[in-house]
């Protein structure tokens, strides 16, 4: 609730040190961008007096481009930042309270204690009030798990944090974009109308922010400011209309069991293929279909080496389809090198001809005669 009696949507990010439960929170009055995320990391490090060796993240589109079958690919901006600051990244999986429970408790605490019943006037005063609340309540009151005050434990934990050297140089971004929330039924609202996006675009727990642009006739929807066009619609002339693309309602008919059966049929050794699929299922429960698709591509591209690569994986105790692909590629390269060596004739001896002798000469030598 604002001072004008209207409602205003605010966004915030929370950081918490795992041992002391010492917290930092920062707000924005618009959806976050990757540059905002990096700025707030720097602010958090200054607040904590250092940086941890590893940072655990709840899933977020601002720092992750693709889960890549479990081998994560980060956004370009965040990858550059992470490589500069040299901290390790751990990305939580869905429904994993052991790894993400600490930050989820911080989010609930901020919403139910600081935000609840507070009147918003402007962002600067709101953030200043939040910092005072952290000092007075969030980091002062005895934590219900560690039974100590976070600010007191932080005084000891701070000594083990890594020093943050220098000031990170940010690339300034002056472009502005119109954003819209993606609703749970995979639509966005624009100009008093609703426009569809492909099924599955909305993800529970994700930011679900779309970037929209218009020309005289069409609406363009993207998931990133400079990303590929996710959906394109003709602008509605009226109000209250629902503009839907029939292709957005199609379901993915791929079945996990069907993929497993296909992979097992394509691999020669049934025992080894069963072992591999069991390992993939155990390690990548959320990404099994993606892993199986990688396996299928390896079978199609490297049919002469996939079985040997699978045996090598079992020997090395590797359990990723991406490792299978890399080993198959290495085996193909090694095979090509060996073929090249076998087919090469030394230019120095190519014109030499071995002398021919009759059998009588060897019989004479064996009978004690002179070698002629």
Residue 173 above 50 pLDDT? no
Average pLDDT, the chain: 83
Task: Give the CA radius of gyration of the chain.
Answer: 31
Name the residue with tokens 């009147």: 119
Q: How many percent of the chain have pLDDT more than 90?
A: 29
Q: Name which of 49-63, 88-102, 286-300 the model is least confident about.
A: 88-102
Enumerate the domain spans of the chain: 11-160, 178-249, 256-342
pLDDT of residue 253: 46
In angstroms, the CA 12 to CA 14 distance is 7
In angstroms, the CA 221 to CA 198 distance is 11
Residue 71 above 70 pLDDT? no
pLDDT of residue 52: 93
Residues whose CB is less than 8 angstroms from the CB of residue 344 and which lie 6 or more positions away in sequence, other chains included: none
Mean pLDDT (whole number) for 307-321: 88
pLDDT of residue 10: 92
Pick the residue with more confidence: 100 or 328?
328
* Residue 168 near residue 81, CB atoms below 8 Å: yes
Reported as a single tens digit per residue, the pLDDT across 321-365 is 999 999 989 888 888 887 766 555 566 666 666 677 776 776 676
pLDDT of residue 11: 92
The SS3 assignment for 23 reads strand
pLDDT of residue 92: 78
Mean pLDDT (whole number) for 139-146: 92
Q: Name which of 240-249, 293-302, 360-369 the model is least confident about.
A: 360-369
Longest Cα pair distance anywhere in the chain, in angstroms?
123
Residue 172 above 50 pLDDT? no
Token representation of residue 178:
């119109």
pLDDT of residue 370: 57
Reported as a single tens digit per residue, the pLDDT across 111-131 is 999 999 899 988 888 999 999
Mean pLDDT (whole number) for 44-72: 79
DSSP string for 2-53: BTTS-----EEEEEE-TTT--EEEEEESS---HHHHHHHHHHHHHHHTSB-S
In angstroms, the CA 244 to CA 287 distance is 30
Question: What is the pLDDT confidence band of residue 176, given thresholds at 50, 70 and 90?
Answer: very low
Q: Name which of 72-76, 80-84, 206-210 the model is least confident about.
A: 72-76
pLDDT of residue 59: 65
Token representation of residue 170:
């940010």
pLDDT of residue 174: 33
- The region, left, alpha or beta by phi > 0 then psi within -120 to 50, assigned to residue 69 is left
Beta-strand ranges (E) seen in the chain are 11-16, 23-28, 54-57, 64-66, 73-74, 88-91, 178-181, 187-190, 193-196, 209-214, 218-222, 229-234, 242-243
Reported as a single tens digit per residue, the pLDDT across 261-275 is 888 888 888 888 888
Reported as a single tens digit per residue, the pLDDT across 15-39 is 999 999 999 999 998 888 888 888 8
Residue 41 above 70 pLDDT? yes
Q: Name which of 184-198, 213-227, 286-300, 337-351 the model is least confident about.
A: 337-351
* Residue 124 near residue 27, CB atoms below 8 Å: no
pLDDT of residue 314: 86
pLDDT of residue 342: 59
pLDDT of residue 12: 94
Token representation of residue 358:
């009759």
Phi, psi of 36 (to 5 degrees): -65, -45
pTM: 0.48
Name the CATH superfamily, with its identifier, for domain 11-160.
Ribonuclease H-like superfamily/Ribonuclease H (3.30.420.10)
* Residue 294 near residue 288, CB atoms below 8 Å: no
């Amino acid at each position: 609730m604002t001072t004008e009696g209207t409602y205003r949507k605010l966004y915030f990010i929370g950081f918490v040190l795992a041992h002391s439960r010492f917290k930092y929170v920062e707000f924005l009055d618009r959806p976050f961008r990757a540059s905002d995320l990096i700025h707030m990391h720097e602010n958090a490090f200054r607040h904590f007096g250092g940086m941890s060796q590893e940072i655990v993240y709840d899933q977020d589109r601002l720092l992750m481009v693709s889960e890549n079958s479990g081998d994560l690919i980060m956004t370009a901006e965040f990858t550059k930042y992470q490589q500069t600051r040299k901290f390790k990244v751990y990305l939580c999986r869905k429904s994993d309270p052991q790894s993400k429970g600490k930050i989820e408790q911080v989010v609930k605490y901020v919403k139910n204690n600081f935000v609840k019943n507070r009147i918003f006037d402007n962002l600067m005063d709101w953030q200043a009030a939040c910092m005072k609340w952290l000092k007075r309540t969030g980091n002062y009151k005895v934590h219900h798990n560690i039974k100590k005050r976070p600010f007191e434990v932080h005084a000891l934990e701070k000594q083990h944090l890594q020093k943050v050297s220098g000031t990170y140089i940010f690339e300034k971004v002056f472009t502005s974009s119109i954003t819209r929330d993606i609703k749970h039924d995979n639509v966005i609202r624009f100009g008093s109308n609703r426009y569809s996006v492909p099924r599955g675009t909305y993800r529970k727990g994700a930011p679900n922010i779309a970037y929209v642009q218009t020309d005289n006739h069409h609406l363009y929807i993207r998931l990133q400011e400079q990303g590929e066009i996710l959906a394109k619609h003709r602008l509605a002339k009226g109000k209250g209309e629902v503009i839907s693309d029939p292709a957005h309602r199609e379901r993915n008919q791929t079945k996990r069991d069907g993929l497993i059966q296909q992979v097992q049929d394509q691999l020669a050794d049934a025992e080894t293929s069963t072992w591999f699929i069991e390992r993939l299922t155990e390690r990548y429960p959320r990404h099994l279909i993606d892993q199986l698709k990688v396996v299928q591509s390896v079978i199609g591209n490297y049919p002469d080496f996939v079985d040997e690569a699978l045996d090598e994986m079992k020997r090395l105790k590797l359990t990723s389809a991406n490792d299978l692909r890399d080993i198959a590629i290495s085996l193909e390269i090694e095979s090509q090198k060996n073929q090249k060596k076998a087919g090469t004739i030394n230019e120095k001896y190519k014109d030499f001809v071995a002398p021919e002798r009759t059998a009588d000469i060897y019989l004479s030598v064996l009978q004690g005669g002179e070698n002629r």
